[in-house]
Amino acid sequence: MTDRVLIIDFGSQVTQLIARRVRESGVYCEIHPFNRVTADSLAAFGPKGIILSGGPSSVTEAEAPRVPQAVFEAGLPVLGICYGQQAMVAQLGGKVAGSDHREFGRAWVDVSGECALFQGVWTKGGREQVWMSHGDRVEALPEGFRVVGVSDGAPYAAIADDSRRFYGVQFHPEVVHTPHGAQLLRNFTHGIAGCVGDWTMRAFRAQEIAKVRAQVGKGRVICGLSGGVDSSVVAVLLHEAIGDQLTCVFVDTGFMRSGESEQVVAMFRDRFNIRLIHRDASDLFLEKLAGVTDPERKRKIIGATFIDVFDEEATKAGGADFLAQGTLYPDVIESVSFTGGPSVTIKSHHNVGGLPDRMKMALVEPLRELFKDEVRALGRELGLPDDMVGRHPFPGPGLAIRIPGQELTRDKLEFDLSRGDPQRRPLRRRLASLRRPAAGAHGGRDGRFALLRLRLRATRRDLDRRHDRRLLPVPPRLPGPRRQPHHQRGQGHQSRHLRHHLEAAGDDRVGVRFQ
């Protein structure tokens, strides 16, 4: 069995980053809310180590979240991060208090002692950059602990109890602003907890195929295929596991990117030989959306219509015992509030959101333990091409919500910048260079930190001609010597150049610079 680490969540906004860093080191981990961890659940999960996340609460409050006592009695190594450190100290007999000196942002830790957590990374007497975010701080240590790191705002910035293998840090090692944070976490998972680090996509592939076969048996599975990364990987994985017991239904809404419908059919029906039902329902979707301009109403209408069409095609195909979905681990985490309350609606355009109850089928969710970049890695392991697994996310409603404030018509949907005026084509080809690079092409993790440059030499007249005003607003004049809407003129200012850095959170973060 693959080694496991349990991350207990106290509500930090960056808890998922802890999991990402741990998994990147080859160790499987899961995030469980603090109030759902018991001695029985610990024994069932079987972790080799436990990490306590940060959180927004104050240990000094009466109703503050507490670490389950079973954690300290399990005989397992424990690492407390920020709030996790404070909660551990308070519950084991130390003292935590509010401070007038709050730390947020870059800080420096003076390494005052050696410990297994710092092995090969930090040395005694060194001064290391970290990222802090706290108001309370530890003021007295429990018996058995010693201080191994201090900062201006935290006299116990890093602590260790080597005999019990309990460690705590006031800073956040999971964020990139702590340069050696990933190595510190690896020291905990591999060096202290003794994890081997053998969790790979090849191992996951074999494991999930066996689980799907055991769950499905001789039953039939139906999968809603959209052509996106998640459903594509699910379809290929399930086909490898159960072959012709799988039927995929591709509902073509008419709102996809140019040529995408044909690509989906060619890829899965011809290349992978998957049983595929292709339903062109574009006329029906346009009819349902007639006169609708509000984006949220569009989303809901598209979702309801998708369910109707999918249900109809599934019935025609003879029904099924199981419904396959591309649920990812962030969906699982975000659907459960760590306080036990109702979760907030994250996205209203999840096409298959109403299918399971309505269709009376059990769910098959082979990706529910994976983050997005792990799904992409699994797709490559399964033989999907890079242009499929590396594509940028495109929401289910697609072009329907990318034509804002307007009623949808066939004429608007069929408009394509790559057709018509020959002068558009060079710009189109240059825009195509912004496609996500292959893994490792730019040295970043999965290529997502690549900095891509595109120099636009189009004049306003060119842009007027190249954009259809029915769909796209004419871009504002590029800033020049006399027009500087984004920057104040100053020494070293480069006129006629517009630099705009776009950074999206999560897996698809990419910097795009227009010069």
- Give the active site residues: 82, 172, 174
How many whole angstroms separate alpha carbon 233 and alpha carbon 37?
32
Task: List, in sequence order, every beta strand (DSSP E) within 170-225.
Answer: 221-224
**Quick check: 499 pLDDT over 90?**
no
Q: Which two tokens stand for residue 357?
A: 């109850």
- Give the class (CATH, top level) of 201-401: alpha beta
Measured from the Cβ of residue 74, the count of other Cβ atoms closer than 10 Å reads 16
Find how far residue 241's CA is from the centre of its chain.
26
298 close to 292: Cβ distance less than 8 angstroms: yes
Rg of the chain over Cα atoms, rounded to whole angstroms, equals 26
430 close to 324: Cβ distance less than 8 angstroms: no
- Helix axes of 372-381 and 229-242: crossing angle, nearest 10 degrees: 40
Query: Which of 36-40, 133-137, 328-332, 374-378 shows the lowest per-residue confidence on average (mean pLDDT)?
Result: 133-137
170 close to 350: Cβ distance less than 8 angstroms: no
The pLDDT confidence band at residue 428, using thresholds 50, 70 and 90, is very low
Task: Decide which of 187 and 419 is more confident.
Answer: 187
**Quick check: 362 pLDDT over 60?**
yes
Query: What is the 3-class SS of 30-44, one letter each residue?
Result: EEEEHHHCCHHHHHH
Write the DSSP symbol of residue 114: -
Task: Decide which of 481 and 70 is more confident.
Answer: 70
Query: Which of 50-54, 75-79, 294-298, 443-447 shows the lowest per-residue confidence on average (mean pLDDT)?
Result: 443-447
**Quick check: 443 pLDDT over 90?**
no
Q: pLDDT, tens digit, for every residue of 146-188?
A: 999 998 888 899 999 999 999 999 999 999 889 999 999 999 9
How many whole angstroms separate alpha carbon 244 and alpha carbon 218?
11
Q: pLDDT, tens digit, for every residue of 202-225?
A: 999 999 999 999 999 999 999 999
- Reference 159, options 151, 149, 171; nearest CA is 149
175 close to 126: Cβ distance less than 8 angstroms: no
The pLDDT confidence band at residue 113, using thresholds 50, 70 and 90, is very high
Specify the pLDDT at position 106.
87
pTM of the model: 0.71
How many whole angstroms separate alpha carbon 502 and alpha carbon 124?
40
Write the DSSP symbol of residue 393: P
Query: Which of 196-200, 247-251, 353-357, 405-409 shows the lowest per-residue confidence on average (mean pLDDT)?
Result: 353-357
Specify the pLDDT at position 317.
87
Q: What sign does the dihedral 468-469-473-474 (CA atoms) show?
A: positive
How many whole angstroms separate alpha carbon 138 and alpha carbon 159?
10
The pLDDT confidence band at residue 337, using thresholds 50, 70 and 90, is low
The mean pLDDT of 505-513, rounded to a whole number, is 32
Specify the pLDDT at position 335.
64
The mean pLDDT of 364-389, rounded to a whole number, is 92
Residues 6+ apart with CB under 8 A from 33: 8, 9, 336, 337, 338, 340
- Helix axes of 372-381 and 201-216: crossing angle, nearest 10 degrees: 90
Specify the pLDDT at position 336.
60
Give percent of the chain above pLDDT 90: 45
Question: What mean pLDDT value characterizes the chain?
Answer: 78
Task: Decide which of 407 and 11 is more confident.
Answer: 11
21 close to 6: Cβ distance less than 8 angstroms: no
**Quick check: 361 pLDDT over 90?**
no
**Quick check: 128 pLDDT over 50?**
yes
Report the b/e string of 399-431 with b at 16+ CB within 10 A: bbbebeeeebeeeebebebeeeeeebeebeeee
368 close to 327: Cβ distance less than 8 angstroms: yes
Task: Decide which of 297 and 347 is more confident.
Answer: 297
71 close to 217: Cβ distance less than 8 angstroms: no
104, exposed or middle or buried, with CB in 10 Å at 0-12, 13-18, 19+?
exposed
The mean pLDDT of 34-60, rounded to a whole number, is 93
Specify the pLDDT at position 61.
86
In order of 119, 261, 269, 499, the CA distances from 272 in angstroms are 48, 16, 6, 43
Q: Which two tokens stand for residue 267?
A: 């890829």
The mean pLDDT of 251-266, rounded to a whole number, is 85
Task: Decide which of 18 and 507 is more confident.
Answer: 18
The pLDDT confidence band at residue 437, using thresholds 50, 70 and 90, is very low
**3-state DSSP call for residue 79?**
strand
Domain ranges of the chain: 4-192, 201-401, 417-515
The pLDDT confidence band at residue 262, using thresholds 50, 70 and 90, is confident
The pLDDT confidence band at residue 100, using thresholds 50, 70 and 90, is low
Specify the pLDDT at position 451.
35
Amino acid at 157: A
19 close to 53: Cβ distance less than 8 angstroms: no
Query: Which of 104-118, 223-237, 351-365, 414-428 shows the lowest per-residue confidence on average (mean pLDDT)?
Result: 414-428
Task: Decide which of 62 and 395 is more confident.
Answer: 62
How many whole angstroms separate alpha carbon 200 and alpha carbon 211?
16
Specify the pLDDT at position 110.
95
The pLDDT confidence band at residue 397, using thresholds 50, 70 and 90, is confident
Measured from the Cβ of residue 162, the count of other Cβ atoms closer than 10 Å reads 16
Q: Which helix (H) or strand (E) holds 513?
A: strand 511-514
141 close to 162: Cβ distance less than 8 angstroms: no
Specify the pLDDT at position 388.
86
Q: Half-sphere exposure (CA, 13 Å, Cβ side) for 171?
A: 31
- Give the class (CATH, top level) of 4-192: alpha beta
The mean pLDDT of 485-510, rounded to a whole number, is 35
**Quick check: 322 pLDDT over 90?**
yes
Specify the pLDDT at position 359.
62
Specify the pLDDT at position 205.
95
